[in-house]
Structure 1
Amino acid sequence: MQIPTVRTERFVLRAPRRSDLDAYTAFRTSDRAKGIGGPFPAFDTHAKLCSLVGHWLIEGFGRWIVADKDDAPLGVVGFYYPDGWPEPEIAWSVFEHAEGQGVAYEAAVATRAYAYDVLNWKTVMSCISPDNSRSLALARRMGAVFERSFTHSVEGELQIWRHLPPEALT
């Protein structure tokens, strides 16, 4: 399987590459990774970067590296479906140097369009920690609505935010 490339007005959502490892490690080992259970030790970052590719191969969907037009990595956005999740979600993480540039919003909107237009999903959600105010604000900005809470065996309490269905986007 080849991981698809998605282009937005300002960014490229593309397959992870070895050259992304330094930026990905800086993110995962920092306090910015708290929203996804981190910070994490640097030694497992290579395996986690590889798992982004593996998710596409096993599930048929996954997360992309979001890069600028010069191919510099800005974050990780796309589909995530780990064990114990109620269904696949749109997930986003933005690297520190890209904060405040609309990266997560633009890439998450493109991801939602991919879910509906390419994967033919009828609905999609995002799982967000109740104390992750920035992600909660992004979900609201995208028009998602709080549906319910659930408790994951590892991640703890999370909230399910339901994104607009395809018919509501037209």
Structure 2
Amino acid sequence: MGAIPTLHTERLVLRPPVMADYPAYAAFMASDRSRLMGGPHVRWAAWGMFTSDVAMWELYGHGALMIESRANGDCVGQVGINHGPMFPEKELGWMLYAGSEGQGFATEAGGALKDWALETLNLSTLVSYFDPENYKSMAVSARLGGVRDDNAVPQDEGDVVYRYFSE
């Protein structure tokens, strides 16, 4: 399917995952911070999700990228285009590690990957699925131009779905 891209924004580098990223990813997934993403998850489930994020690049031509701060090189989270049997449509999703919220990283990373996906994958639409209590991420989605779509098929029962359209 081609190489996994690296995307650059003003403050971030969105880069392919590497093994050194897994411990922080697994710690996030094991924490209460992952509860709005079906967690907390045991280590083997986190490993399955991490490897799925990488495998999607080969299977679908999209997947997850790690969010790295250009200021200090720290990995602050992940952004991805998800699909496969667990997702009714291609989904834009993100997560930030503790201490990285409130700085606009999710909006900056999500916007860059959304634009990349709509253009490169030639999509007319893309969605984000949210736990109904995930107000902060829904606000990010709205900043990215997402509009609530109550007619969309949810990933999980009760999900709130936001839709993005190509311009």
TM-score, normalised via structure 2 length: 0.89
Deviations 1:42-65 (A, max 9, x none): 243333322211011111111111
The answer (yes or no) to whether the contact 2:6–2:15 under 8 Å persists in 1 is yes
| Other-structure match for 1:136 | 138
Paired residue type of 2:43: A
**Identity rate, percent:** 34
4+ aligned runs moved over 6 Å, structure 1: none
TM-score, normalised via structure 1 length: 0.88
The 5 A counterparts of 1:26-41 are: 26-41=27-42
| Other-structure match for 2:90 | 88
Paired residue type of 1:107: A
The 5 A counterparts of 1:9-158 are: 9-69=10-70, 70-148=72-150, 150-152=153-155, 155-158=156-159
The answer (yes or no) to whether the contact 2:154–2:161 under 8 Å persists in 1 is no
- Structure 2 CA distance for partners of 1:44 and 1:128, relative to 1, 3 Å: closer
Q: Which runs of 5+ in 1 are unaligned?
A: none
Deviations 1:94-147 (A, max 9, x none): 111211111110000001110222222122111112121111111112221111
The count of corresponding residues between Structure 1 and Structure 2 is 164
Deviation at 1:91, TM superposition (A): 0.6
The answer (yes or no) to whether the contact 2:53–2:82 under 8 Å persists in 1 is no
Q: Which runs of 5+ in 2 are unaligned?
A: none
Paired residue type of 2:30: T
Distance 1:108 1:26 in 2: 22
The answer (yes or no) to whether the contact 1:150–1:157 under 8 Å persists in 2 is no
Deviation at 1:158, TM superposition (A): 1.1
Q: Residue 162 of structure 1: SS of its match in structure 2? A: strand
Deviation at 1:17, TM superposition (A): 0.6
Q: Residue 9 of structure 1: SS of its match in structure 2? A: coil
